[in-house]
């Protein structure tokens, strides 16, 4: 009797051959067809797509890779008198096709619009809004809501969606209109992005902060789990209509609040804008950016300031709407401020929390040698002149460390820290040491705090955070 012992299992030899095919997509008579490679017939009667399908075949099976570029086109339009019946921008300004626009204007079919408006804004402009919609014979539903930071929740977004559903919007031709501050614009944007997977919406900012910040980008969201904007999406509006006349009824504190975001862009990107704020900040604050009756040079600071703030913001946002690149200069002032803002809610406005963050980071930049002492003093003096807070007792060193640790978890393993390296110039750094943060914090408190806080030694605070 004989035995055969196998010392290993025999495996079939696998081929490394991979067959790869690139397909273009052509639409012919309402259906899409794959066409191989770049040399498909140009005589095909149909329209091509920018999308491609890449097919790979091996002995193990077939895989497909879809590359489908997504292009969003949206307008940011400054227009005075949005609620004047002689101005149809609010209803039709988002339409880009001249023929479509003319067809709608000549049609006898009434326009239908669903409007979400902050309830405070509604108390001020509700009658004017109703008269405007009625002047155009529009079928409308106006939903006033308490859109505050405390109410910025999924529950409020769902309330909007329930009412939108009852109104039965056409998801392609009847955009939802949001009128209010940044919270209102953010909540409505999220609701619109969810309803039937994407319904167009229009942003109409009524505060300075939303005028230069929330209205011009693609982000929207709500607070969740005690975290700011933890739920959200990247879906820009079809248009943002900016009317500075709304600012005349905004409390002066909210003008100051918006100036913080303008100052952010000035420090990061535009020395001229910073100098404008240095020289004319008080005038802008007192006049609330109103230029009616002003002529010549007197009317220029407001228009130049908002134009530069929007242009510099769009320069940073347009190539990176989905934040694929986490190195973002517009995050200046937004490393610690989200935690601070939520902790002391509602005592600090968003721009105020951002400015406290920026103030501390100016000291970090000074500690690293990126700013001269003169530059530091000019920046802090400008902040004070704009009536912005430059220090807060609840912005503790423990909060600084905790915020940066949280940032580390969600930023690809780096604390990406935008810092000014001069007036109107900035870079992003990921190598700021704990020692530098500690020394900057001590000096920041020594020079700016109204009452010197107890500051633990650096080793103790790091142990607390780590544990």
Separation CA 80–CA 316 (nearest Å): 26
With beta carbons less than 8 A apart as the criterion, state whether 405 and 459 touch: no
For residue 69 the two structure tokens come to 């570029």
| Residue 11 confidence (pLDDT) | 47
Question: Which residues are paired to 64 by β-bridges?
Answer: 55
State pTM to two decimals: 0.88
Q: Report the candidate in 203, 244, 36 with the shortest Cα–Cα distance to residue 118.
A: 203
Residue-wise pLDDT for 124-165, tens only, equals: 999 999 999 999 999 999 999 999 999 999 999 999 999 999
Residue-wise pLDDT for 237-256, tens only, equals: 999 999 999 999 999 999 99
Q: Report the candidate in 310, 298, 307, 212 with the shortest Cα–Cα distance to residue 254.
A: 212
- Kindly report the three-state secondary structure assignment for every residue of the chain: CCCCCCCCCCCCCCCCCCEEEEEEEEEECCEEEEEECCCCCCCCCCEEEEEEEEEEEECCEEEEEEECCCCCCCEEEECCCCCCCCCCHHHHCCCCCHHHHHHHHHCCCCCEEEEEEEHHHHHHHHHHHHHHHHHCCCEEEEEEECCCHHHCCHHHHHHHHHHHHHHCCCCCCCCEEEEECHHHHHHHHHHHHHHHHCCCEEEEECCHHHHHCHHHCCEEEEEECCEEEEEEEECCCCEEEECHHHHHHCCHHHHHHHHHHHHHHHHHHCHHHHHHHHHHHHHHHHHCCCCCCCCHHHHHHHHHHHHHHHHHHHHHHHHHCCCCCCCCHHHCCCCCHHHHHHHHCCCCCHHHHHHHHHHHHHHHHHHCCCCCHHHHHHHHHHHHHCCCCCCCCCCCHHHHHHHHHHHHHCCCCCCCEEEECCCCCEEEECCCCHHHHHHHHHHHHHHHCCCCCCCCCHHHHHHHHHC
**Terminus-to-terminus CA distance in the chain, angstroms?**
69
Separation CA 314–CA 447 (nearest Å): 35
Separation CA 139–CA 162 (nearest Å): 18
| Residue 5 confidence (pLDDT) | 37
The percent of residues in the chain predicted with pLDDT above 90, rounded, is: 80
Look at 36-45, 188-197, 289-298 and tell me which has the smallest mean pLDDT. Answer: 36-45
Angle made by CA atoms 397, 400, 405, in degrees to the nearest 5: 130
Residue 453 has pLDDT above 80, yes or no: no
| Residue 467 confidence (pLDDT) | 38
Q: How far is CA 431 from the centre of its chain?
A: 26
Burial class (CB in 10 A: 0-12, 13-18, 19+), 92: middle
Burial class (CB in 10 A: 0-12, 13-18, 19+), 259: buried
Separation CA 183–CA 145 (nearest Å): 11
**219 is known as an active-site residue:** yes
For residue 35 the two structure tokens come to 């066409």
Separation CA 330–CA 319 (nearest Å): 13
| Residue 295 confidence (pLDDT) | 61
The percent of residues in the chain predicted with pLDDT above 70, rounded, is: 89
Q: Report the candidate in 83, 81, 85, 135 with the shortest Cα–Cα distance to residue 110.
A: 135
Residue-wise pLDDT for 159-206, tens only, equals: 999 999 999 988 789 999 999 999 999 999 999 999 999 999 999 999
Helix 350-367 to helix 252-269 angle (10° resolution) is 30
With beta carbons less than 8 A apart as the criterion, state whether 221 and 231 touch: yes
Residue-wise pLDDT for 323-362, tens only, equals: 989 899 999 999 999 999 999 999 999 999 999 999 999 9
Separation CA 198–CA 312 (nearest Å): 28
Average pLDDT, rounded, for the chain? 90
Residue 4 has pLDDT above 80, yes or no: no
Catalytic hit among 219, 264, 269, 288: 219
Separation CA 305–CA 309 (nearest Å): 6
| Residue 409 confidence (pLDDT) | 82
pLDDT band per the 50, 70, 90 thresholds, residue 452: low
With beta carbons less than 8 A apart as the criterion, state whether 424 and 269 touch: yes
């Amino acid at each position: 009797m004989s035995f055969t012992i196998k010392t290993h299992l025999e495996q079939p030899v696998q081929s490394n051959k991979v067959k790869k095919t690139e397909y273009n997509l052509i639409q012919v008579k309402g259906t899409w067809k794959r066409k191989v490679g770049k040399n498909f017939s140009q005589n095909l009667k149909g329209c091509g797509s920018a999308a491609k399908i890449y097919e790979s075949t091996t002995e193990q099976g077939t895989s497909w890779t879809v590359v489908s570029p997504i292009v969003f086109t949206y307008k940011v339009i400054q227009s005075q008198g949005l609620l004047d019946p002689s101005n149809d921008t609010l209803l039709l300004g988002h339409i880009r096709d001249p023929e479509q626009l003319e067809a709608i204007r000549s049609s006898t079919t009434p326009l239908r619009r669903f409007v979400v408006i902050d309830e405070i804004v509604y108390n001020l402009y509700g009658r004017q809004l109703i008269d405007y919609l009625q002047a155009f014979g529009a079928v409308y539903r106006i939903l006033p809501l308490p859109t505050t930071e405390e109410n910025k929740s999924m529950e409020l977004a769902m309330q909007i969606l329930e009412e939108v559903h009852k109104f039965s919007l056409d998801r392609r031709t009847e955009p939802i209109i949001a009128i209010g501050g940044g919270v209102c614009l953010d909540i409505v944007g999220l609701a619109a992005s969810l309803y039937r997977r994407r319904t167009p919406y229009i942003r109409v900012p009524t505060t300075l902060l939303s005028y230069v910040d929330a209205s011009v980008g693609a982000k929207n969201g709500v607070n969740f789990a005690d975290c700011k904007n933890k739920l959200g999406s990247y879906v820009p509006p079809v248009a943002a209509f900016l009317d500075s006349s709304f600012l005349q009824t905004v409390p002066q504190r909210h003008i100051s609040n918006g100036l913080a975001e303008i100052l952010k862009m000035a420090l990061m990107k535009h020395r001229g804008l910073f100098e404008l704020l240095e020289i004319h900040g008080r005038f802008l604050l007192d006049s609330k950016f109103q230029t009616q009756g002003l002529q010549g040079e007197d009317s220029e600071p407001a228009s130049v300031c908002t134009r530069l703030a929007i242009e510099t913001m769009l320069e940073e946002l347009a190539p990176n709407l989905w934040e694929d690149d986490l190195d973002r200069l517009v995050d200046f002032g937004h490393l610690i401020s989200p935690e601070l803002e939520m902790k002391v809610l509602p005592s600090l406005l968003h721009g105020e929390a951002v400015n406290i963050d920026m103030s501390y980071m100016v000291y970090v930049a000074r500690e690293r040698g990126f700013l001269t002492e003169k530059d530091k003093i000019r920046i802090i003096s400008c902040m004070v002149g704009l009536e912005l807070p430059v220090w807060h007792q609840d912005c503790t060193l423990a909060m600084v460390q905790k915020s940066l640790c949280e940032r580390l978890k969600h930023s690809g393993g780096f604390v990406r820290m935008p810092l000014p390296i001069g007036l109107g110039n900035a870079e992003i750094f990921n190598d700021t040491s704990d020692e530098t943060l500690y020394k900057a914090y001590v000096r920041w408190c020594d020079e700016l705090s109204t009452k010197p806080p107890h500051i633990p030694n650096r080793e103790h605070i790091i142990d607390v955070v780590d544990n």
